[in-house]
Amino acid sequence: MLNLDSIFYNRYRIDRLHELGAVETIYLGWDNLSNQAVTISETKAQPNLTSDSLEALKAQFAQQAQILCALNHKNLIAPSDSFVIDAVAETDQPNSEDGSPVPHSYVVTPVIGNDSLMQRINDQGPLPEKSVILWAGQILDALVYCHHRHVLHGDIRPQNVYITPEGNAVLAHFEVPSLWNTADPRKWTAKRVLGTPDYAPPERWVMRVGQIDERSDIYSLGATLLHALTGKLPISAEERIANPYNFQNIEFANIKVSLQVKHILTHAMAVPKDKRYSSAAAMATDLHASESISKLYNKTPAIPLLFLPTRFKKISWLKIGGLILSSIVLFFSGLLGLWLHSKVPPVTTWFSQPASPTVISTVIPPTPKVLIEVLPASPTLPPTTSIPTITPEQPATVQLPELTSIMSDTFDSNTYQWPISNSQDEWGSIVREITGGHYVWHVGAEKDVGRWCLPDSDSYATDFRLSVDTRRLSGPLNIAYGLIIRHNEGRYYVFNTRDDGYFRFSLWQGYEWITIIDWTETLSIRPGEMNKLEVITRGPVFEFY
């Protein structure tokens, strides 16, 4: 260990011990050259290494430390210095191969203050969701920057997130490169015993370094945000694997966390890596969408759109060209969505879905329809700047290609793990249950609110047919319910209907709602009765029934 109140490396004053681990020791000190406070991370080289192995690890340390020191982002505190010295304390063991001293590696990082996220949690308990979302977005922006450069943080936790005097979050203390074989079980055991496993993803609990990637940082960030929102240490990945029900039933109890944020955290902290967000950018997209659904939903579209007439004498279905990029993967299934409008009493809605045949072949009857085509976007503009045009089309009989049934739920049981809950949050109350072959929602709200969920299914398809039977049991006529379709990395379409005889079709794209068809009257909706909502997608075309 370094001596306190000493000058180290002819530059750094060692003020006090900050953190002592089995592999890494962190000191607080002062950089006499730059006149700023710093942390100094010290790691002793792995014992019993051959000279060749040690030299290889030294070269690897120098390369990785140089990459970290070169990082430059407003929400990052990158290391400022790194080096290896052969100073040996009395307790160090010599290398058993040649008797030479055991080297130590050092990484120096500037300190911007002592207002860490951990300190705020200790002082205040659960932190406001609005603040946590702001900080999470800033940390995700930093992770996008790092991951683009193939740099993982490796140790995201509240102790390593600092809040600046301006109220911004910065990420510090990367997992430092060390003179250890990363696959050595002693290093992993030491981290598990003396480290902070509460934020570590499952792949950190096994000795397979190749399994660690960007999604490992996403898990740790999710656990960090969960701690900030609940004021409680998150359940470790090891315990979650042993008892997965703990995570669902305990973590969000008795706190005000919106369902949207809860969904984001459960997605980020999924035990299997392939169930998590594929990138920090994807998580950031959902995070920006997690504000009040109604507030965002009523935003004025950022681009001019041509809408259908506000009233139809008769309409049975629509054929709509969507804003689709050919490169994305399209989720076959829909989300059941329920939207309530301001100051509504408790409302009950139930959803059911009959079994679907294995092969589906549908003939569309000759009924009036409207075709919306999307003009190609300019190469210099994003696709969402295209302007749809409305063109009448004569009724036609359309044969669907043969389709295979990949999901059918009669709600006799909860096969697809639909959310079952009885909870209260800042937006109101919601009870969701499966009973009598129906999925029933009882929702109460005093202001505009959006509620939605999705099934537990891994199936994907480019073209699909989705059919759901819905009925409003109570509540005002102007509550909206419907389907979320083609949910992909936070981008999705919403088809809404209301029992007062209106429908709407919108797109959540990037950070805003884009209305494709504004609220439009139709005679096809039967108030208080069973209404079948059905969508057929074929490439860029949507057909609604």
In terms of average pLDDT, the best of 17-26, 248-257, 487-496 is 17-26
154-158, 168-172, 333-337, 445-449: segment of lowest average pLDDT = 333-337
pLDDT at residue 426 above 60?
A: yes
Query: In this model, does residue 116 exceed pLDDT 90?
Result: yes
Q: Are 268 and 277 in contact (CB under 8 A)?
A: yes
Q: Give the strands of the sheet with 344-352, arranged side by side.
A: 388-392, 370-374, 318-321, 541-544, 531-538, 464-472, 344-352, 438-445, 428-435, 421-425
- Give every CB contact of residue 247 below 8 A, 6+ residues apart in sequence: 235, 240, 266, 269
Per-residue pLDDT at 351 exceeds 60: no
| pLDDT, tens digit, 9 for 90 and up, residues 441-481 | 888 887 777 777 777 766 667 678 888 888 888 888 888 88
Q: All domains of the chain, ordered by start, with CATH?
A: 7-288 (1.10.510.10), 293-309+328-360+402-537 (no CATH)
Arithmetic mean of pLDDT, 202-230 = 84
The arithmetic mean of pLDDT across residues 203-209, rounded, is 62
SS3 535: strand
Q: Which residue has the tokens 């579209």?
A: 301
* Averaged pLDDT, 477-493: 78
More confident residue, 521 or 87: 521
Q: Both tokens of residue 21?
A: 């681990």
pTM, to two decimals: 0.54
Q: What average pLDDT does the chain have?
A: 72
pLDDT digits (tens, 9 = 90+) for 64-79: 899 999 999 999 999 9
Element (H, E) at 221: helix 214-230
133-142, 259-268, 327-336: range with highest mean pLDDT: 133-142
Q: pLDDT at residue 178 above 70?
A: no
Q: What is the pLDDT of residue 81?
A: 95
Interatomic CA distance for residues 498 and 524, integer angstroms: 11
Q: Would the pLDDT of 29 be above 80?
A: yes
- CA-to-CA dists, residue 134 to 52, 129, 168, 260, 408, angstroms: 47, 9, 8, 15, 39
- Region of poorest pLDDT, from 86-95, 241-250, 378-387, 523-532: 378-387
Q: Is the dihedral of CA 49, 52, 58, 61 positive or negative?
A: negative
Side chain identity at 521, as an amino acid letter? E
What's the pLDDT score for residue 67? 92
Of 6-10, 17-21, 184-188, the one with minimum mean pLDDT is: 184-188
389 pLDDT above the threshold of 60: no
The predicted structure's pLDDT at residue 243 = 61
Q: CA 424 to CA 432: how far, in whole Å?
A: 12
> 134 pLDDT exceeds 90?
yes
pLDDT the model gives residue 107? 93
Give dist(CA 156, CA 53) in Å, integer: 29
pLDDT interval class at 196 (50, 70, 90): low
3-state secondary structure of 117: helix
Cα 447 vs. chain centroid, distance in angstroms?
Answer: 26
Helix (H), strand (E) at residue 28:
strand 24-31
- The mean pLDDT value for 140-148 works out to 96
Per-residue model confidence (pLDDT) at position 23:
73
Query: CA-to-CA distance for 505 and 496, rounded, in angstroms?
Result: 6
Q: Is the pLDDT of residue 265 over 70?
A: yes
Find out whether 209 and 198 touch, Cβ atoms under 8 Å. no
Q: Which residues contact 90 (CB under 8 A, 6 or more apart)?
A: none
Rg of the chain in Å (alpha carbons) = 28
